[in-house]
Amino acid sequence: MQVYDAPIRDMRFVLEELHNDDGFGDVEGYEDFDSDVSTAILEEAGKLCKEVLLPINWSGDQEGCKLENGTVSTPKGFQEAYKAFCEGGWAGLGVAEQWGGQNAPHALGKMVEEMTCSANLSFGLYPGLTGGAMVALEAHGSDELKEFYLPKMANGEWSGTMCLTEAHCGTDLGMLRTKAEPQDDGSYLVTGNKIFISAGDHDLTSNIIHLVLARLPDAPAGVKGISLFLVPKFLPNADGEPGEHNHAGPTAIEHKMGLKASATCQMSFDGSKGWLVGEPNKGLEAMFTMMNTERVAVGIQGLGVGEIAYQSAVYYAKDRLQGRSLSGVKNPDGPADPIIVHPDVRRMLMTMRAYNEGCRALSGWVSRALDASHSAREPEVRERATDFVALMTPVVKALFTDLGHESAQLAVQVYGGHGYIQESGVEQFARDARIAQIYEGTNGIQALDLVGRKLPHRMGRNLRSFFHPVSQFCEDHAADPAIGKLVGALQQSFGALQLSTGHIAQKGLKDPEEAAAAATDYLRLLGFVAMGYCFAKACKIAHAKLAEGTSEEAFYKAKLITAQFFFDRLLPVATAQFMAIRSGKASMMDLPEEAF
């Protein structure tokens, strides 16, 4: 059973209560999105997800996409769902009003993204890619390109892609071979083959706008010779309607482990007409604008799948009767108790719950910083927010997708043998979530980005944007009678993080392989400390609410228990990570290649 109701109460907690003191709240341009409007948007989005996107999630996986006669068709129901999605204005939720969007803050938009990813990850990719393409185009495209393309992308009429990977190069884009020849009219003819192109072709929109990395004839070798081009599937006529086919199309669709309703294409560009986006040979930077947005979005995908996996597992754990509670029969009228009574089932459910709430809390913080980085009134705040987003982007991407996949696998485990059967719907979550640990830069690459770029950047300034509030909070609340004990545990893991940071800075300076050998453990450690900090803050708020009296006692009490579970059962792994980091690179690197 795929079960989903948008977790709106927890989303509102994160949006409205948890991060009010983070200094990122004073932003311009989002005045319309007060609590009532935001709640209404969350509720509408939740409804769409539950009623329109969820019902075609499993069928979409079973049916998959098909390539026939050079075009891809999406599974049954996807066209209608996409129409409803666009008619609701969801395609342009976060887009500037100038292009016809609603200019909603990221803090809200990411919550809506989480919902789409829960209800139908494959579906979510189509508008998701368009969103990323719009970000890159808005940041780097000429006014002409922006005015022509953005409005049609913001209303969902046209969609977007990002075409980076080629068969021989994914992570290492310096090797890419696709070529772009300048034409007299200022356009370019793009020629080459790409693989793994999400939404590379489909039947949801009348045109598809590809952003393609390619090399100019005189380009230097490596990553410094890559430029970005806008290449539409159909060349628009003067009236803006799609016209002549541009020889930019799919040659195959990939047979994947999951995410089968999302068309992942091998693409051929055969002298396809395109336009330069940004400056020549600066394509990678332009693409990274998109990629960084996408990396946070991919992290949210992990969270989204984690949430529906949790809800589906809870449903089954309450429904499935098997065995009796160790503390006495709980369902005397039935042949057995529901399996939610068993500690080991609880362990799995609470783990998923804590991951989801922890990731949502952290994602809410990062999203507020995203908004502040663009729109905070104070330049110092914009700068600090930019630092924080830079630091946390790889953490959100890698940590959330790892935990989302783990939650999906836990849901399968809760279902037991039934979870391994396709009809249960839960094994799809595990297959779908798996790609998020890989695409937009593998999680190993995220960890390298964190320790290799984000830590040393401007003498550790990124890191201070995170360490400072945590350290301040610990200082302020170490003696707090309500949360002092949790704060003590937080301090301990924070201490391990600080020592690890020192270890990496010191050893990595002499030998970059030492930093790289610590990277994955360090990212996880940092992420867990960040979640722990969010949980400790949540407890502070919950205790205050319960002390002053609230009609939502159950919500705040549950928050305290989930946080306690996180501190009891999940955060301890920080110690293991610290020990692993401290051990250095030797045993990882010593084995000669031929001995493998």
Q: Say whether 181 is catalytic.
A: no
DSSP 424: G
Tell whether residue 349 is a contact of a second copy (CB under 8 A).
yes
List binders of a second copy among 319-338 (CB under 8 A).
Answer: 321-323, 326-327, 335-336, 338
Which position among 122, 246, 443, 500 is part of the footprint of a second copy (CB under 8 A)? 443
Contacts of 456 (CB under 8 A, 6+ apart): 505
Extract the tokens encoding 62: 């079973």
Q: Annotated catalytic residue: which of 307, 427, 440, 514?
A: 440
Smallest separation, CB 384 to a second copy (Å): 30
Q: Which residues between 478 and 537 bind a second copy (CB under 8 A)?
A: 511-513, 516-517, 519-520
Which C-beta is closer to a second copy: that of 164 or that of 381?
A: 164
The distance of closest approach from Cβ of residue 591 to a second copy in the complex, given in angstroms and rounded to an integer, is 5
With respect to a second copy, which residue has the nearer C-beta, 464 or 582?
582
Site for a second copy in 132-171 (CB under 8 A): 165, 168-171
Residue nearer to a second copy on the CB measure, 171 or 506: 171
The Cα 548–Cα 507 span in angstroms is: 50
Interface positions, 354-413, toward a second copy (CB under 8 A): 405, 409, 412-413
* Contact flag: residue 447 with a second copy (CB under 8 A): yes
Reduced to 3 states (helix: H, G, I; strand: E, B; else coil), residue 73 is strand
C-beta pairs of 331-340 under 8 Å, 24+ apart in sequence: 339/414, 340/314
Residue (37 or 175) nearer to a second copy, CB: 175
Contact between 423 and a second copy by CB under 8 A: the answer reads yes
CB of residue 442 vs a second copy: minimum separation in angstroms?
6
| Among residues 444, 456, 488, 495, the one that binds a second copy under rule CB under 8 A | 444
Q: Of these, 113, 166, 254, 371, which contacts a second copy (CB under 8 A)?
A: 254
Longest dimension (CA), the chain: 83
Tell which one of 76, 83, 224, 318 touches a second copy (CB under 8 A). Answer: 318
**Identified binder of a second copy from the candidate list 104, 119, 317, 530, rule CB under 8 A:** 317
Helix 379-415 crosses helix 283-319 at what angle (to 10 degrees)? 40
Query: Does 551 contact a second copy by CB under 8 A?
Result: no
* CA pair distance 342, 470, nearest whole angstrom: 36
Cβ proximity to a second copy, 19 vs 260, nearer residue:
260
**Nearest distance from residue 329's CB to a second copy, in Å?**
13
Nearest-approach distance from CB 399 to a second copy, in angstroms: 15
Cα–Cα nearest to 200, from 156, 154, 231, 238: 231
Q: Could you tell me the smallest distance in angstroms from the CB atom of residue 282 to a second copy?
A: 21
Q: Which stretch binds a second copy (CB under 8 A): 102-110, 152-160, 459-467, 557-565?
A: 557-565
CA 231 to each of CA 44, 188, 203, 224, 286: distance values in angstroms, whole numbers, following the listed order: 34, 9, 18, 21, 15
Output the DSSP codes for 218-242: TPPSGGGG-EEEEEESEEE-TTSSE
User: According to CB under 8 A, which one of 150, 231, 314, 470 is a site residue for a second copy?
Assistant: 314
Show the site string, 565-594: x = touches a second copy by CB under 8 A, - = not. Answer: x-xxx--xxxxxx-xx--xxxxxxxxxxxx
Calculate ∠ Cα 293-295-301, nearest 5°: 110
| Closest CB to a second copy among residues 324, 461 | 324
Count of positions on this chain that bind a second copy (CB under 8 A): 100
Binding to a second copy (CB under 8 A): which residues in 258-297? 258
**Of 458 and 485, which has the nearer Cβ to a second copy?**
485
Is residue 422 a contact point for a second copy (CB under 8 A)? yes
Contact 348, 365 (CB under 8 A): no
- Contact between residue 64 and residue 202 where contact means Cβ atoms under 8 Å apart: no
One character per residue 181-220, x = contact with a second copy (rule: CB under 8 A): --------------xx------------------------
Q: 38 to 67, contacts with a second copy by CB under 8 A?
A: none
The DSSP call for residue 34 is -
- Residue 318 and residue 340 in contact, taking contact as beta carbons nearer than 8 Å: yes
Q: How far is the CB of 55 from a second copy (least distance, A)?
A: 20
Closest by Cα among 520, 253, 309, 293 to 433 = 309
Handedness of CA 155, 158, 164, 166 (dihedral sign): positive
Structural element, H or E, at residue 409:
helix 379-415
Helix (H, G, I), strand (E, B) or coil at 197: strand
From candidates 442, 471, 498, 550, binder to a second copy by CB under 8 A: 442
The residue type of 524 is: R
* By CB under 8 A, residue 353 contacts a second copy: yes
Q: What per-residue string of b and e applies to 143-179 under the rule 16 or more CB within 10 Å gives b?
A: eebbebbbbbbbbbebbbbbbbbbeeebeebeebebb
Dist. CA 396–CA 448, nearest whole Å: 14
The answer to whether 477 and 470 are in contact (CB under 8 A) is no
What positions carry a catalytic annotation? Answer: 440
